Structure 1
Amino acid sequence: MKSGEALTRSPKGGEQSVSVIQRYGHYISQLGPAWIIGAVACGPATLASVAIAGATYGYKMLWVVILSAVFGTTAQYLAARVGILEGMGIIEATEKYLGKSWAWILTIDALLATWLAAMFLMNALAGVTSLVTGLETPYWGVVYGILITLFLVRKGYRKFETVCKILVIFVVACFVATLFMADLSAAGILGGILPNLPGGIDAALMMAAIMGGAVHITIIGMHTYNTNARDWKPKDLPLARFDTVTSMGMAFGLYSVAIFLVAAAVLHPNGIGVKRATDAALALQPLLGDSAMKIFMIGLWAATLSTLSPTFMAGAYFISGKMGWAQNVKDKRFAGAVFAGCLVSMLGPFVKGSFFLLLPLMLALGLTGTPLVIAIILYLLNRSGCTVKNSALLNFMGGLTLLVTSFLAVRFLLTQFGIM
Structure 2
Amino acid sequence: MKNLFKNIGPGALVAAAFIGPGTVTVCTIAGVNFGYALLWAMLLSIFATIILQEMAARLGVVSQLGLSEIIRSQITHPILKIIALVLIISAIIIGNTAYEAGNINGGALGLETLFGFKSVEFLYFNFNFYALLIGFIAFVALYAGTYRTIERFLVFLVALMSVAFISTAVITKPNLSELLSGLFTPTLEKKSLLAVIGLIGTTVVPYNLFLHASLAKAKWNSVKDVKYARRDTIFAVVLGGVVSMSIIISAAEIPMTDISNASDLALSLEPIFGAYAKYFLSIGLFAAGITSAITAPLAAAYVASGCLGWSSNLTSMRFRLVWMCVLGLGVLSSSLGFKAISIIKFAQVANGLLLPIIAIFLLWVMNNSKVLKENVNTTFQNSLGVGIIIVTVVLGIKGILSVLDIV
Q: TM-score range by the shorter chain?
A: 0.7 to 0.9
Describe how 1:275-354 pairs up with structure 2 within 5 A: 275-281=260-266, 284-285=269-270, 289-349=274-334, 350=336
Describe how 1:213-252 pairs up with structure 2 within 5 A: 213-248=202-237, 250-252=238-240
The 8 Å contact of residues 375 and 402 in structure 1, kept in 2 or not, is answered as yes
Counterpart position of 2:138: 148
The 8 Å contact of residues 83 and 225 in structure 1, kept in 2 or not, is answered as yes
Describe how 1:395-410 pairs up with structure 2 within 5 A: 395-410=382-397
Answer yes or no: is 1:393 the counterpart of 2:386: no
The alpha carbon displacement at 1:210 in A equals 1.1
The 8 Å contact of residues 157 and 287 in structure 2, kept in 1 or not, is answered as yes
Which amino acid in the other structure matches residue 57 of structure 1? F
State which of 151, 162, 173 in structure 1 corresponds to 2:166.
173
Which amino acid in the other structure matches residue 61 of structure 1? L
The alpha carbon displacement at 1:129 in A equals 4.2
CA distance in 2, matches of 1:218, 1:208: 17
What do residues 154-199 of structure 1 show as CA deviations (whole Å, max 9, x unaligned)?
A: 35974765654443233123134236x2234x25742563333332
TM-score of the superposed pair, with normalisation by structure 2: 0.83
The alpha carbon displacement at 1:66 in A equals 0.6
What do residues 344-388 of structure 1 show as CA deviations (whole Å, max 9, x unaligned)?
A: 2134324567x9xx9999889745532222111111112353412
CA distance in 1, matches of 2:112, 2:181: 40
CA distance in 2, matches of 1:161, 1:36: 6
CA distance in 1, matches of 2:59, 2:281: 37
TM-score of the superposed pair, with normalisation by structure 1: 0.81
The alpha carbon displacement at 1:300 in A equals 1.2
CA distance in 1, matches of 2:12, 2:310: 26
Answer yes or no: is 1:193 the counterpart of 2:176: no
State which of 183, 188, 206 in structure 1 corresponds to 2:175.
183
What do residues 120-163 of structure 1 show as CA deviations (whole Å, max 9, x unaligned)?
A: 21232344444533225544445543553244213597476565
Which amino acid in the other structure matches residue 216 of structure 2? T
Answer yes or no: is 1:260 the counterpart of 2:252: no
The 8 Å contact of residues 166 and 246 in structure 2, kept in 1 or not, is answered as no
Describe how 1:23-42 pairs up with structure 2 within 5 A: 26-42=3-19
Task: Name the count of aligned residue pairs.
Answer: 387
CA distance in 1, matches of 2:137, 2:234: 33
Which amino acid in the other structure matches residue 83 of structure 1? G
The 8 Å contact of residues 110 and 369 in structure 1, kept in 2 or not, is answered as no
Name which one, 1 or 2, has greater alpha-carbon Rg. Answer: 1
Counterpart position of 2:403: 416
**Runs of 5+ unmatched residues, structure 2:** 120-125
The 8 Å contact of residues 204 and 411 in structure 1, kept in 2 or not, is answered as no
What do residues 93-126 of structure 1 show as CA deviations (whole Å, max 9, x unaligned)?
A: 0011114322343233322332222122123234
CA separation of 1:94/1:352 partners in 2, compared to 1, >3 Å: closer, same or farther?
A: same
CA distance in 1, matches of 2:338, 2:194: 19
The alpha carbon displacement at 1:333 in A equals 1.5
What do residues 192-221 of structure 1 show as CA deviations (whole Å, max 9, x unaligned)?
A: 633333324xx4442222112321112111
CA distance in 1, matches of 2:29, 2:329: 27
CA distance in 1, matches of 2:269, 2:345: 21
**Runs of 5+ unmatched residues, structure 1:** 1-23
CA separation of 1:362/1:231 partners in 2, compared to 1, >3 Å: closer, same or farther?
A: same
Which amino acid in the other structure matches residue 400 of structure 2? L
CA separation of 1:134/1:187 partners in 2, compared to 1, >3 Å: closer, same or farther?
A: closer
- Give the secondary structure class of the aligned counterpart of 1:113: helix
The 8 Å contact of residues 51 and 280 in structure 1, kept in 2 or not, is answered as yes
Answer yes or no: is 1:133 the counterpart of 2:116: yes
CA distance in 2, matches of 1:199, 1:164: 37
CA distance in 1, matches of 2:367, 2:385: 11
Counterpart position of 1:72: 49
CA distance in 2, matches of 1:149, 1:48: 25
Counterpart position of 2:71: 94
- Give the secondary structure class of the aligned counterpart of 1:134: coil
Bigger Cα displacement from structure 2, 64-73 vs 37-46: 37-46
Q: Percent identity?
A: 22
CA distance in 2, matches of 1:26, 1:77: 20
The 8 Å contact of residues 352 and 399 in structure 2, kept in 1 or not, is answered as no
CA distance in 2, matches of 1:378, 1:219: 15
Which amino acid in the other structure matches residue 178 of structure 1? I
The alpha carbon displacement at 1:327 in A equals 1.7
